[in-house]
Amino acid sequence: MISPIKAAEALAIFNGQGAMRMLGARVVEIADGVAEFELDFRDELSQQAGYFHAGVVSTLIDTAGGCAGFTRMPEGSDVLTVEFKINLLAPANGEKIVARGEVIKSGRTLTITQGKVFVYKDGKPTLCALMQQTLIAVARKSNPA
Amino acid sequence: MISPIKAAEALAIFNGQGAMRMLGARVVEIADGVAEFELDFRDELSQQAGYFHAGVVSTLIDTAGGCAGFTRMPEGSDVLTVEFKINLLAPANGEKIVARGEVIKSGRTLTITQGKVFVYKDGKPTLCALMQQTLIAVARKSNPA
Amino acid sequence: MISPIKAAEALAIFNGQGAMRMLGARVVEIADGVAEFELDFRDELSQQAGYFHAGVVSTLIDTAGGCAGFTRMPEGSDVLTVEFKINLLAPANGEKIVARGEVIKSGRTLTITQGKVFVYKDGKPTLCALMQQTLIAVARKSNPA
Amino acid sequence: MISPIKAAEALAIFNGQGAMRMLGARVVEIADGVAEFELDFRDELSQQAGYFHAGVVSTLIDTAGGCAGFTRMPEGSDVLTVEFKINLLAPANGEKIVARGEVIKSGRTLTITQGKVFVYKDGKPTLCALMQQTLIAVARKSNPA
């Protein structure tokens, strides 16, 4: 079970990212070791063929993996992405993508996640990306406010 | 030497991506086996600590690698990202990022690139990301116009 | 269902690899889209702390992923690894490792697999590695015999 | 400049790996932030087509990257591979491979390296693999002797 504080902090990470607002991403779920976000297509999110840009797909799943990992990190941590690797399995051609990150292994310092992105075309999902990610827990800076 | 047609096509890929316009990316260079793009910071590009989002960094270097690879692909090809892996080496904390992709090996079907991203803080560059990418040349769809 | 011919060919790939014999790897399972191999510890497989070497772990799961992917490739194909990425999640400290590769997406040219490696210590399994891999189907060379 | 102690310790890591002895790898160079190893072909190192096995190539470059990274780690550290990603650029078809790892960024906890592997065929080198690796410095266990 995720504590209410951890859940609120994970949500605050999502909400604190200008990039999530720019994309127009929405939270589907944040739970213990899991985060799922979704994003509707619009022209600004496209690559040259009119599909979701691989970078946009990557941004959404990187963030989902990061929030998933954050839920397992020690109190007082902030999360940074050390690295990720993503395979684009199919053109992200559709009206919506849904990115789900899940913790595979969480340690004191490093947390490893996997992620999947589905693209919905006429309501039908297709797996379009697969990600593997390494996160690091760093000491949270005191609130600048 | 890159042919004028290839250069124009590579530029058209960049210009044809809604995501590059949304980010506000600019072309620094497109040459044979190389592409370099830059992007100024603004709040919409941020993660929770106010730095460039790892996904934004990834989007810029994925596109730079893709355009670099495209310059070596056969006539009539379009380029798709098969996969990439990125290490975030330092917080992308600064006023600008510059992403440069370079072809390491180009074959008939697959092209491999490496990329580096530098973040500029008060004009001073720091290497903040390192990427390795696999691209595939696919037959270009006829122009929808 | 895997055809008897495909199963025999996948097994021939495993048996045709000097590296599998050198390591002492054994086949646990080859089925449609799946391959699982195992390997007992001995000193020659170690890194400096006396655990299975990360490279040995990588070799076994690369091969398991490759054989898994091969089972879905067109007739007359041979399989080559384009790239793989592996996270070492825990020291591979134990008497045996078991590597299982599974196909996530198979296309005409490229096949994507995921893999897991478990290390057994006193009979108890621990997930010690996670892999994501891209394979390519190439035309099989005629038998040199 | 690498200290004599660091150089000796890095060499001891190489020498302490049963896997390096099994492969028959030799040290070409260990210097500050760099390590280069080589390995002659023999049948036990092969994949099904008679080339160096991708896993063998991976093992050599993983170790070269690890030793390169180790040279920059704090006193009293041991090195573990967190993850690596490798692209196999060309069949490793030849009489020898040479793997060179170089540090890109070294921090207190994590070190990032890049690696290249060349295969020599009739004395002529071809780049056959490209690697990107994350290492972690862990406290060295006291000598078990």
How far apart are the two ends of chain A, measured CA to CA in Å? 31
Q: What is the pLDDT of residues A100-145, one digit of tens each?
A: 999 999 999 999 999 999 999 999 999 999 999 999 999 987 554 4
Question: Are C67 and C77 contacting, i.e. CB atoms less than 8 angstroms apart?
Answer: no
What pLDDT is recorded for position D144? 44
Closest Cα in chain B, distance from residue D22 (Å): 30
Tell which of D87, D119, D132, D134 to mutate to test the B interface (max B CBs under 10 Å).
D87
Cβ-based burial of D9 (10 A; exposed 0-12, middle 13-18, buried ≥19): buried
Q: What is the pLDDT of residues B45-95, one digit of tens each?
A: 999 999 999 999 999 999 999 999 999 999 999 999 999 999 999 999 999
| Mean predicted lDDT score pLDDT of chain A | 95
**What are B6's two structure tokens?**
């290839």
Chain D residues near any Cβ of chain A (below 8 Å): 82-83, 85, 109-110, 134, 136
Please state, in angstroms and rounded to a whole number, the distance separating the CA atoms of residues C28 and C36.
5
Q: Find chain B residues with C-beta within 8 A of D103's C-beta.
A: none
State in words which class domain C4-139 has: alpha beta
Query: Order of strands, edge to edge, in the sheet holding A34-40?
Result: A26-31, A34-40, A96-106, A110-121, A124-139, A77-88, B77-88, B124-139, B110-121, B96-106, B34-40, B26-31
Please state, in angstroms and rounded to a whole number, the distance separating the CA atoms of residues C58 and C78.
20
Residue type, B76: G
**With an 8 Å Cβ cutoff, are A130 and C85 in contact?**
no
| Mean predicted lDDT score pLDDT of chain B | 95
ipTM: 0.94
Find, in chain D, the residue whose alpha carbon is nearest to that of A133: D83
Q: What is the pLDDT of residues C47-102, one digit of tens each?
A: 999 999 999 999 999 999 999 999 999 999 999 999 999 999 999 999 999 999 99
What pLDDT is recorded for position D145? 41
